[in-house]
Amino acid sequence: MNMTFLEAIREAMRIELKKNENVYLLGEDVGAFGGCFGVTAGLFAEFGDKRVRDTPISEGAIVGCAIGSAATGLRPVAELMFNDFATVAMDMIVNQAAKMRYMVGGKINLPLVIRMPLGAGVQAAAQHSQSLEAWFTHVPGLKVVYPTTPEDALGLLMTSIEDDNPVIFLEHKLLYEIKAEIPENIMPIPLGVAKVRREGTDVTVIATGKMVYEALDAAEKLSKEGISVEVIDPRTLYPLDKKAIFESVAKTNKVLVATEENKRGGYGGEISAMIAEECFDSLDAPIVRIGALNTPIPFSQCLESFVIPNSQDIVNGVKTLF
């Protein structure tokens, strides 16, 4: 079947809602309105207001409600309209969801998913465009999933909803309309398994989210100049498939890491540090890190596209390795 990234996310929720009556959705305008980006459209009509629940605009209570209900037998899938709004719910995510299991000696499971769109590119300015994945990967107790294709969005969201731990599920808003063929009867995709998006021999580019597409574009350009680029998409940021990354580095001996976050303190830095610590002997050159400029995301299109990295930045970065 042919579907968009957005439809794939919806389909994963539909499958899980059908499979388990304890799965329910909650969030701002996720009901008849269909969600701010339309991801939940139609689910309210199909499953009703008990399973697809509009909430007041109270991000803390949305996540808190997910936690309390997950601790008592349900499997909530909460939508936060933008990852920027997660900051309003940070106590619930960081101090409660992530830590409850540990603090009580493993006796309470929290099977919950918090979905949130992220990323720039729609001139939504500084409070609706950030990429805050590093805020979540930093916190033990959370799993962080960041799919880039419709097939992965479907399979990884199914897995996330079936997981017994809190999962942050990141959806880049510019990927929503990407369309692809998805095999029938798709199975859940395990977390922690990276995907090689393009095989290559000269340099490894590790990219997340929309940067995967920028990296593929860069790889195409570079192939014309005789540079063979391997593009690795981790798909889940935690657990991270270090093995796949390290194997590729051992093969190419050169690494560029591309993420859309502000470069300072980003998860790209963590991946780079991991490679530097554990694969130093494989490296023929310093690791190159590509990220957004360390500014808030500006509104005006010319400014926004200047701040966010693109395929040309990756091309330029790769060339410094040779």
Residues belonging to the active site: 128
To the nearest whole angstrom, how small is the minimum distance from the Cβ of residue 163 to another protein?
Answer: 8
Q: Does 50 bind another protein (CB under 8 A)?
A: yes
To the nearest whole angstrom, how small is the minimum distance from the Cβ of residue 209 to another protein?
Answer: 23
Distance CA 130, CA 125 (A): 9
End-to-end CA distance of the chain: 42
Q: Does 115 bind another protein (CB under 8 A)?
A: no
Tokens 């997910």 belong to which residue? 66
Q: Which residues contact 273 (CB under 8 A, 6 or more apart)?
A: none
Exactly one of 100, 145, 256, 297 binds another protein (CB under 8 A); that residue is: 100
What single letter denotes the amino acid at residue 33? F
Exactly one of 8, 39, 65, 113 binds another protein (CB under 8 A); that residue is: 65
Q: What tokens does 227 get?
A: 């540079």
Q: What tokens does 19 get?
A: 């499979």
Number of residues that bind another protein (CB under 8 A): 42
Instruction: Give, as ranges, the residues between 140 and 199 that touch another protein (CB under 8 A).
Output: 140-141, 143, 163-165
Query: Which three-class secondary structure string do you get for 225-292?
Result: CCCCEEEEECCEEECCCHHHHHHHHHHHCCEEEEEEEECCCCHHHHHHHHHHHHCHHHCCCCCEEEEE
Exactly one of 8, 13, 30, 70 binds another protein (CB under 8 A); that residue is: 70
Q: Does 69 bind another protein (CB under 8 A)?
A: yes
Exactly one of 17, 43, 71, 194 binds another protein (CB under 8 A); that residue is: 71
Residues making contact with another protein (CB under 8 A)? 22, 24, 50, 55-56, 58, 60-61, 63-74, 76, 91-92, 95-96, 100-109, 140-141, 143, 163-165, 239
